[in-house]
Structure 1
Amino acid sequence: MYSTSVADAPLIREPLHAPVAHLIRGGVVEGLHYGSVVVLDAGGTVRLQIGDIEAAFYPRSALKPVQAVAMVRAGLPLEGELLSLAAASHSGEERHLAGARRILERAGLREDHLRNVPDMPLDPAVRDTWVREGRAPSRLAQNCSGKHAAMLYTCTLNGWPLDDYLDPGHPLQQAIAEIAEDLTGQRVAKVSVDGCGAPLFSVSLHGLARAAARITTAAAGTPEARVADAMRDHAEMASGAGRDVAALMRAVPGLLAKDGYEGVQVAALPDGRAVAVKIADGAGRARIPVTAAALARAGVDSGLLTGFAGEPLLGGGEPVGCVRPVRALDPAPLTACA
């Protein structure tokens, strides 16, 4: 039986996305990014919505804090940087690989127990170094290895089988689905497979924002608070050096933020204010400027967000434009970034 506090699954439909960012060159709108945005106040009320915040979608890696909470609720004893790594889309730096090895060692396991796909490091500079050194793709280097190592550790602690830990019917994945529904407040609409091979649960953008707010407002010492504290205190373990999501958590006191593939971003403050963003075309260049503008609409001091306007558009090697959130998010004139 589902709890009465869990709503029906969001509808699976073509999302009714709307413009969320302009690509401006020399004061002229050159392009347009569609997407959806939701801003929640501290009481959970929707204060701003653009596009379709209720359609089913895949949060991709933005759901990792929820997965980590589920594992901690199931007994995962990790803290600090290793718990942050369990919720990470890491860059493949040596500290990330070493951390994943440490989690496996605590579980008495080896790299070959991992079932995520082998890959090169996510960070371009780290990946280039691997190529120069002739290193092959590995499961540890893949950006979800911390999550997978933590999944295996959780399984060993509960006596659950290891070989099929990625099967949606496995006790671990059933536990994660239950917590995803608890924190988002809605049933899962669809289960698919994420890029790393783990089950991927479809919820709504609104539900994703609710889940982030539930995590950041939880009482100290709870699984939710432990995950939030670990990610905020060790932001580079949840991402990597130079990553925008880590910089955003450092810039805004108390902010928990997690990005996801295909233009997804969620962020929440300790008082429950939260934003969630989906860029329809998956464009990374629009994700952070739109998120920063949404956080400003949530009441975050805009002075803390000045470094998150996105990369400038270049002409002849010089800045000639920018990616500017739509006026519902940022009322500045189009010529402001010309």
Structure 2
Amino acid sequence: MTGDWPDNPVLVEVWRSGFLESAHRGSLVVLDADGAVTFAAGAVDRPVLPRSSNKPVQATALLAAGWSPRSAQELAIGAGSHNGEDRHRQVAAGMLTAVGLGPDDLGCPPALPQHIGTESEWIVAGRAPERLAMNCSGKHAAMLSACVAAGWPTSGYLERDHPLQQAIEARLAEAAEEPVTAVVVDGCGAPQHALSVTGLARGVLSLVEAQEGSPERSVADAMRAHPWFVAGTGHEDTGLMTAVPGLLAKCGADGVHVAALPGRGAVALKVDDGGDRGRTPALCAGLLRLGMPEDVLAPWLRTPVSGGEGVVGEVCPAPLLRG
């Protein structure tokens, strides 16, 4: 294991009853519509693991391999991280059935749904974790579908030297305009590719700026048209894309987030501590720099801190991002 952690600035603060309780450091970059850096905080050129924020660009590699989704919902869930709600699992299962496969062919681990209500129902019913309920099952169903379309073996589809994974790695580097500097195993078992937050922003920006009808634009359009299939009920990505016409947003585990808006630019960030709490306020601060109105972003820009039965503070962008 190598590499020292950079001395990144504070991006987000947590205030409780007027007391600064916590601070979240990280790196954040803002690009204009042409891909030029207009704002940078922290080590924005240092490789990080974008985790599920890589999925939109990954999906373009699956289309290039021959995957032909039967609906925009299938394409959206193939690029998403769903909550495991009933319709999510049904769509992922249908994708597998369409290519002669089933849930046992998925390489992602079994899991309980992330949607609280659905998870509670499963626990009460004594229902065991299932592969389809894992939040990456849509991506895995899409990967398997691409393998079938390309004539590649479905066994071993998660190995780095499998032709599918080689195509994904090359595509991510192409879109980011930089080399993939490390390949590790993600939480779902698939290869995960290290890129800088600047490269991550470039890649997602290229999707929303692509020509209509292109594979890149098709992914962006499907995600924006069906944000519920990208994430699910109550998720910030679903909420942001519903509230902001044209916005493409995709979070990743361990404090990563990326968003792009055609004609405006893109924002990408990594919160050093890997927590989710500071991620969306930082993203929204970056989106303000793209000219988005604060009132639209308000539900995610500042999130409440509870005390007793009331609100006593907030999680909010640090002065560096508010300037």
TM-score band w.r.t. shorter chain: over 0.9
Shift of 1:303: 2.2
TM-score norm. by structure 1 comes to: 0.92
1-side partners of 2:207 and 2:3: how far apart?
26
C-alpha deviation, 1:315, in angstroms: 1.9
Match of 1:34 in 2: 25
2:47 pairs with 1:56: yes
Alignment of 1:158-197 (within 5 A): 158-197=150-189
Counterpart of 2:249?
A: 257
Q: Which 5+ residue runs of structure 2 have no aligned equivalent?
A: none
Q: 2-side partners of 1:45 and 1:131: how far apart? A: 49
Q: Give me the whole-angstrom Cα distance separating, in 2, the residues matched to 1:310 and 1:237.
A: 25
What's the CA shift string for 1:23-53, capped at 9, x where partnerless? 1122221211111111111121111111111
**1:272: Cα distance to partner?**
5.2
Equivalent residues of 2:264, 2:290 under 8 A apart: no
Letter of the 1:138 partner, please give it.
E
Equivalences, count: 321
Which letter does structure 1 place at the counterpart of 2:66? G
Q: Which residue among 296, 302, 313 is the counterpart of 2:288?
A: 296
Q: Secondary structure of 1:30's partner?
A: strand
Worse-matched range after superposition: 18-27 or 221-230: 18-27
Is the partner of 1:241 in helix, strand or coil? coil
Structure-to-structure mapping, 1:131-142, within 5 angstroms: 131-142=123-134
> Residue 13 of structure 1: CA displacement?
4.6
CA contact (8 A) 2:281 2:303 kept: no
Query: Contact conserved, 1:12 with 1:189, CA < 8 A, in 2?
Result: no
The counterpart of 2:271, out of the listed 253, 271, 279, is 279
- Are 2:5 and 1:14 aligned? yes
Secondary structure at the aligned position of 1:220 is classed as coil
Question: What RMSD in Å do the two structures reach over aligned CA positions?
Answer: 1.3
Deviations 1:158-196 (A, max 9, x none): 110111000000000000001001100011000001000
Q: Structure 1 segments of 4 or more deviating over 4 A? A: none
Asked whether the equivalents of residues 12 and 56 of structure 1 are also in contact (C-alpha less than 8 Å), the reply is no
The CA distance in 2 between the partners of 1:262 and 1:123, in whole Å, is: 19
55-64 vs 294-303, greater mean Cα deviation? 294-303
Q: 2:304 aligned with 1:312, yes or no?
A: yes
| 1:321 partner amino acid | G
1:23 is aligned to 2:14:
yes
Structure 1 stretches lacking a partner, 5+ long: 1-10, 332-338
TM-score normalized by the length of structure 2: 0.97
Corresponding residue of 1:117 = 109
Deviation larger for 167-176 or 71-80: 71-80
Counterpart code for 1:232: R
Match of 1:7 in 2: none
Q: After the TM superposition, which of the residue ranges 120-129 and 29-38 deviates more from structure 2?
A: 120-129
Distance 2:98 2:6 in 1: 43
1:58-84 Cα deviation digits (max 9, x unpaired): 000010101111101111111410100
Q: Cα deviation per residue 1:233-290 (whole Å; 9 max; x = unaligned)? A: 0000010011111100111110000001011100001125000011111221211111
Whole-Å separation in 2 of the counterparts to 1:306 and 1:31: 21
CA distance in 1, matches of 2:320, 2:146: 44
Answer yes or no: is the 8 Å Cα contact 1:266–1:276 preserved in 2.
yes
Contact kept in structure 2, 1:44 and 1:272, CA below 8 Å: no
Checking the alignment, whether the CA contact within 8 Å between 1:13 and 1:56 is kept in structure 2 is no
